[in-house]
Structure 1
C-alpha cells in the first residue's frame, strides 16, 4: 500500500500539468492511492477569481470535483483516486467554507494556514526587522491558528504544520511552548498531520514538520499521513520510502489516509 494525498494541478495557476498527469505519474511510481487536492477558491471573496496564480476561480470548483470523480471511474481498475481539496484556514470564514464543501463527496479536506497577520507565510523578507519578541508572537499566532483549524471540525488532515520555516529556517529555533500545546490539541482533536516533502524545494531544504515535531506528535498520539504537495507530476510520491523509514525510526507503527472521510490505517 503506497499513497500520496497532496497533489495540485494547473487549475491553481502555479502548478504544471493536468489531473490525469498526476494520476499517470502515481501509477508509474507504483502508488495504490492518489489524492487530488488542489487549492480551494477564495470563497470569502465576492470576486470569482481574486488571486490568479494562487487558487482556482470559484466558477471552476464544481468542474474540478466533476473531473476528479470522472477520472476516479476511468482509473478505477488501476489506482484508487481520492477526491480531496487543500483549504486555506481563515477562522472568520469557516462556516462559509464548510457550506461550500458540504454538497460534494470529498474523501478528505486538508486545512492549511497560509496567512499570519494577513501576510503569506512564504513571503520572503516578512521576518526582516522584527524583534525577538515579535518573532515569538508571530510564531505563536501561527500555532494558535493551527489549533483553531484542528478544533474546527472541518478538516481530516492539517497541512505542512511548520511551513513558516520554508524561507526562514531560523523559524524552528524560535522558542515557544505554543508548538507543544498545538500538538497536544491536534492529538485531542483526532486530526492527522501530513509529512509534506515539498520543503525540500524551499530554502529550508527538508520536510514539514521537523523530526523533533514528529517525535512530540507521536507522544501526543497524533496520526500522520504522507503528502508530496506535488506541483509537477514528477514529484508525486517524492521521498515516500525515506519518510516511511524515518517514521519507523522515530517509533511510529502506522500511518493513515482518509476515504469517504473515514480513516484508513496502513502499517508502516
Structure 2
C-alpha cells in the first residue's frame, strides 16, 4: 500500500494544476491512496481571501470539499481519494477553525505552523540581527506552538515539524530547545496522532526532508507514529521519494507508518 497525504493545487495560489491532475499523477506513480490537502482559508480574517498567493478564499472552501468528494467517487475503482486539508494553527482562533471544519467529512486534517509572531517561518529576514539567545527563544516558541497544536485535538497529522529550517538551514543547529522539542513529541504521542515525513524540504535551501533524522529518532523513542507527505505543489512530485523514506524509516527503527480514513488510523507495516 502506497500513500501520500499531502498535496496542493491551484486554489492556494502557489501551486499548479487541478485536483484531478494530482489524482492522475498518483495513479501513474503507483499510489494506492492519495490525500488532497490544500491550504485552509484564513477563517479569522475579515477579507474573503486576504493573501491570494498563500491560501484559498473562504468562499472557495465548500467548492473545494465538493470537488474532492466528487472525484473520490469518480475514481473509486482506480485509487482511493481522501479528503484532507492543511490547516494553519493559531491558538487564539482554534475554536473558529475547529468549527469551520466540523460540518465536513474529513478523512484527516494536517496541522501546520506557517507563522510565528505574525511572520512566515520561511522568511529569511526574520533571523537578521538576532543574537544566539533570541534565536533559541524563537526556536523554543515554534515548538511550543507545535505542542499546543497537538494538544488542540483538531489534527490527525502534524505537518513539517522542523520546516523553519527551510530557508534558514542553520535553524537545525540552534541549541537550547531540546526540551521543547521533546515536550512537543510527547504531546503528539499522547494524543495518538502522527507526524509526516515531508519530502518538500529538498526544494528549499535546507535540501532535505522534514523532519531531520535526529527528530525522527526522538519521535521513535517517544512512540510517535509517522506518515508520508510529498507536499506536492506540482503534480509531478506526488509520491516523491516514497521508497527512500520507507527505507530510511526502517533503518532508524520504525516498523510501521500510518494514514487516516474517516479520521481513523490505518496502520501499514514498513
For the aligned pair, the TM-score class normalised by the smaller chain equals: over 0.9
Q: Structure 1: give runs of 5+ residues left out of the alignment.
A: none
Aligned residues: 268
What residue in structure 1 maps to residue 171 of structure 2? 171
**Residue 200 of structure 1 aligns with which residue?**
202
Q: Would you say 1:53 and 2:53 are equivalent positions?
A: yes
**Which residue of 1 is the match for residue 116 of structure 2?**
116
1:184 deviates by 1.5
CA distance in 2, matches of 1:40, 1:116: 17
Q: How far is the alpha carbon of 1:118 from its aligned partner?
A: 1.0
Partner SS state of residue 197, structure 2 = strand
Query: 1:226, CA displacement in angstroms?
Result: 0.1
CA deviation after TM superposition for structure 1 residue 183, in Å: 1.1
Say whether 1:236 aligns with 2:238: yes
For the pair 1:77 / 2:77, whether they are aligned, the reply is yes
What root-mean-square deviation, in Å, do the aligned CA atoms of Structure 1 and Structure 2 show? 0.6
The Cα of 1:148 is off from its aligned counterpart by 0.2
1:97-147 Cα shifts (integer Å, max 9, x gaps): 011100000000000001111110001221111010000000000000000
Which residue in 2 is equivalent to 1:32?
32
- What secondary structure sits across from 2:126 in the alignment? coil
1:1-268 mapped onto 2 (5 Å cutoff): 1-175=1-175, 176=177, 177-268=179-270
Question: Shift of residue 161 of structure 1?
Answer: 0.2
The whole-number CA distance in structure 2 between the counterparts of 1:80 and 1:40 is: 22
Alpha-carbon offset, residue 186 of structure 1 = 1.3
Cα separation, 1, equivalents of 2:166 and 2:152: 25
How far apart are 1:234 and its partner, in Å?
0.2
Any idea what SS the aligned residue of 1:134 has?
Answer: helix
Rounded Cα–Cα distance in structure 2 between residues aligned with 1:150 and 1:12: 24
User: What is the distance in 2 between the residues matched to 1:190 and 1:127?
Assistant: 33
Q: Structure 2: how far apart are the matches of 1:149 and 1:75? A: 33
Structure 1 residue 189 displacement after superposition: 1.7
Deviations 1:165-211 (A, max 9, x none): 00111111111221122112211121100000000000000000000
TM-score (norm 1): 0.99
Q: Alpha-carbon deviations, 1:29-48, whole Å to 9, x = none?
A: 00000000000000001111
Instruction: List gaps (5 residues or longer) in structure 2.
Output: none
Write the distance in 2 (CA, Å) between the matches of 1:57 and 1:163. Answer: 24
- Tell me the distance in 1 between the aligned counterparts of 2:125 and 2:203: 18
